[in-house]
Amino acid sequence: MLIREIEANLPWGFHDAYLERLAVDWTRGTAQLDLRVMMSEHQDLDQLGRLSLLGLAYIAAEPPSKAIGECCEAGLWVDSEEVIAQSGGGTTIQLPATYFLHRFYVHSTESSIYVCAREASYEWIEESPSNARAQSRALFPGERLQPR
């Protein structure tokens, strides 16, 4: 399965998710990303799950443009997108056959983490959603921020 296919089954995908843990096992060619994903319309509920990558080709992290400083208790705030290799004008990203490339943008450091693997799966670590750890919420036109 591709990461974008997993995201399609999550209310917000990995948009506004929080990366709590990244573990790589080079000998087995696997990686695990523990991501706290938003589970409600207003992002007031989240749930921790594990994104597992199999057939890992590589993980690359850009140097941060600013220091992380003290990390918030929710983890690194990330967004996610599939990377499509482009032909003509600019650099073409070469992928091994049957592999995908995915990017996690880290807001707090203004940098990206790239993962290239053959397969991805997602499982829940927490049984159900709970109050979101992050302080941000989604607002829609006409809505006002509610005091905490």
Identify each DSSP E strand in 26-144 by its residue range: 30-38, 45-54, 58-61, 76-82, 100-106, 111-117, 119-124, 130-131
Element (H, E) at 106: strand 100-106
140 versus 114: the higher-pLDDT residue is 114
- 98 token code pair: 């049957």
pLDDT digits (tens, 9 = 90+) for 34-87: 999 999 988 889 999 999 999 999 999 998 876 666 556 668 889 999 887 654
